[in-house]
Structure 1
Amino acid sequence: MLSSPSSSRPVRILLVEDHDMVAEAMSLALERSPGLEVVGRCASLASALVDAGRYKPDVVLLDRRLPDGDGVSLIPGLESLVPDVRVLVVTGEGGASVAARVAEAGGAGMILKASPLSELEDAVRRVAAGEVVFSHALLGDVLERLTGRVSAPGAKLTPRERETLDLLGEGFTTAEISGRLGVALNTGRNHVQRVLEKLGARSQLEAVTIARREGLLQ
């Protein structure tokens, strides 16, 4: 059973964000909001674990992309370290696939960085109270992904196609990808084309954009 923070004390927040200006804006907004207290700020997965153990926050506001890895992967570790903690992921971009990953990892929700600060404050209060918070635009898709009724983009990519997508994400051309995979140019083109088809993309740039949005690329 979830234990909500006592009404006699503020909701204690650990902010994990590697962009100083974003972290400062979030921190100021949260500190000015009655009943909320930022007890720590850090900028990496490693320091988040250290600070979570030190401060025992009620809510961890966790950036999805950090210098030492994917924030979503940290959720189980945080919840193991601080059993009653609620983790709210903050991301610059993210679709239903990323939101489903957050839910599967045990996260309490996901909010976009572009959201008004008032929405961020509201989301923190709600997850602290035991609610799960995803945007209405994503919630239906998240439920469908979790119940297996809709496949996530990229779910049907073969290992070789995932490797091709990784190389596209690094900015390599089709010829360069073919060389790195050790295949003929036509074979490389076929790999790239299948990646585009499976992601529903019309160009390599669009494929990379979709892959980043859905959490297939960092």
Structure 2
Amino acid sequence: MSASVEADMRPVLSVLSVDDHPIYSQGLALALHAMKNSRVRNDHGPLRFEYADSLHAASARLQREPGFDLLLLDMMLPDGNGHELLAHLQRNQPDLPVVILSANDSPSDVTMAISAGANGFISKSAPLAEVDQALSDVLSRKIVTPSNYSRSAPTEATLQLDEAVPNLTPRQIEVLGLLARGLPNKRIASILQCQEDTVKSHLKALFNKLEAHNRTECVRRGFQLGLLGHNDS
């Protein structure tokens, strides 16, 4: 069986795009469908887009159809801020990957969104190839931020979440950065030229210091506390 036939037989990924500007959301869907060598399609399968133009419409749709594979969310909607829906999803559908698509990609907005539970933040001005790669990375359980995102210290909003920044060793910070790239233990060990058991020990220490229960939560805490910048994702 050819690769193209196998790809056609893969399950269709359902994407809900929540945006009150249909030209952008529908245009993005068409562009991804037409894109040659799309990373998200090649890695994860064909996409089916559905649309909602408000928080109310999105909430109703998610309640009727809880099986979406990915949510694309604009932050500024006619009936409120996207953070409201993000908070609701964290309580009720925490496993649904959420990507923020916003015209405003200031570092504070990016940090707040990731800290609140978003799996990715993409600027609406980003090139199509960057958006395509970012969506593929999020579906691979990585946390994605804009290419121009950087931070040197926790923001005021972050410090309100947790003022105590744990003291990590340089090697633990290296491991955290590689973890943010979605790399498995074996690959991290290869990059750091150490044993896989050593990586596991570093991860155990990171989980303990960052009060995290899994890899994704560990990376999210890294963003919250200003321990990760754009070069880490």
What range is the shorter-chain TM-score in? 0.5 to 0.7
Q: CA deviation at 1:81?
A: 3.3
Give the aligned residue type for 2:23. M
2:136 is matched with which residue?
A: 125
Aligned-partner SS, 2:126? coil
Match of 1:9 among 11, 16, 19: 11
Match of 2:59 among 45, 49, 62: 49
Give the aligned residue type for 2:21. H
Q: Looking at CA atoms only, which structure, 1 or 2, has the larger radius of gyration?
A: 1
Q: 1:77 to 1:26 in 2, by over 3 A?
A: same
Q: In structure 2, list runs of 5 or more residues that go unmatched.
A: 1-8, 160-233
Q: CA deviation at 1:132?
A: 0.4
Once the two structures are superposed, residues 53-97 of structure 1 have per-residue CA deviations (whole angstroms, 9 ceiling, x without a partner) of: 315212111011111111123112123332310111011122111
Give the aligned residue type for 1:71. G
2:32 is matched with which residue?
A: 30
Q: 1:105 to 1:135 in 2, by over 3 A?
A: same
How many residues are matched? 142
Contact 1:43 1:66 in 2 (8 A): yes
Q: CA deviation at 1:116?
A: 1.2
Report the Cα distance in structure 2 between the residues aligned to 1:71 and 1:28, rounded to whole angstroms: 24
Aligned-partner SS, 1:76? helix
Report the Cα distance in structure 1 between the residues aligned to 2:143 and 2:94, rounded to whole angstroms: 16
Q: 1:122 to 1:11 in 2, by over 3 A?
A: farther
Give the aligned residue type for 2:83. V
Report the Cα distance in structure 2 between the residues aligned to 1:55 and 1:11, rounded to whole angstroms: 13
Q: 1:82 to 1:36 in 2, by over 3 A?
A: farther
Give the aligned residue type for 2:80. G
TM-score w.r.t. length of structure 2: 0.55
Q: 1:115 to 1:69 in 2, by over 3 A?
A: same
The answer to whether structure 1 residue 64 and structure 2 residue 75 are counterparts is: yes
Alignment map for 1:55-94 (pairs within 5 Å):
55-94=66-105
2:126 is matched with which residue?
A: 115
Q: CA deviation at 1:30?
A: 3.0
Report the Cα distance in structure 2 between the residues aligned to 1:131 and 1:44, rounded to whole angstroms: 27
Contact 1:15 1:27 in 2 (8 A): no
Contact 2:105 2:146 in 1 (8 A): no
Q: 1:139 to 1:50 in 2, by over 3 A?
A: farther
Q: CA RMSD in A?
A: 2.4
Report the Cα distance in structure 2 between the residues aligned to 1:72 and 1:135, rounded to whole angstroms: 18
Q: 1:100 to 1:69 in 2, by over 3 A?
A: same
Aligned-partner SS, 1:137? coil
Q: CA deviation at 1:147?
A: 6.0
Q: In structure 1, list runs of 5 or more residues that go unmatched.
A: 1-6, 149-218
Q: CA deviation at 1:103?
A: 1.4
The answer to whether structure 1 residue 103 and structure 2 residue 105 are counterparts is: no
TM-score w.r.t. length of structure 1: 0.58
Percent of paired sites with the same residue: 28
Q: 1:100 to 1:82 in 2, by over 3 A?
A: same
